[in-house]
Amino acid sequence: MTFTPKTPAFEKAIKDSRNLKAKPDNDDLLELYSLFKQGSQDPPFADAPKPGMFDLTGKAKYNAWKKVADEGMTHQQAQEKYVKLVNSLKEKYGFEG
């Protein structure tokens, strides 16, 4: 397993995402999840277990991450997009920080 370094901006965005005033809608949450997983590569997508047949939430998360991975997005690109997304969500939902 390889270690994927996290930029300081990515680390800050992770913390900031936990301090939004309101819970983001499901589409925003799936985008956050997929970019976080691709950005952190923990585990790499190829090593991630597939969710069970009745795990609908797990399937949605897995498919969102698969879409990002299939686009060929690098972990650096995912971290940058994650930071931008969190900043836009701070404006959309409010931020307690």
Looking at residue 43, its pLDDT comes to: 87
pLDDT digits (tens, 9 = 90+) for 40-58: 998 899 999 999 999 999 9
Write out pLDDT tens, residues 3-46: 789 999 999 999 999 999 999 999 999 999 999 999 999 889 99
Average per-residue pLDDT for the chain: 95
Tokens, residue 93:
């939902």
Q: Quick check: 80 and 45 in contact, CB under 8 A?
A: no
DSSP string, the chain: -------HHHHHHHHHHTTBSSPPPHHHHHHHHHHHHHHH-SS-GGGSPPPPTT-HHHHHHHHHHHHHHHTT--HHHHHHHHHHHHHHHHHHH-B--
Does this model's pTM top 0.85? My answer is yes
- Are the C-beta atoms of residues 35 and 78 closer than 8 Å to each other? yes
Q: Does residue 79 have a pLDDT over 60?
A: yes
pLDDT over threshold 70, residue 1: no
d(CA 95, CA 21): 5
- The dihedral built from the CA positions of residue 45, 46, 52 and 56, taken in this order, carries a sign that is positive
Q: What is the mean pLDDT of residues 55-80?
A: 97
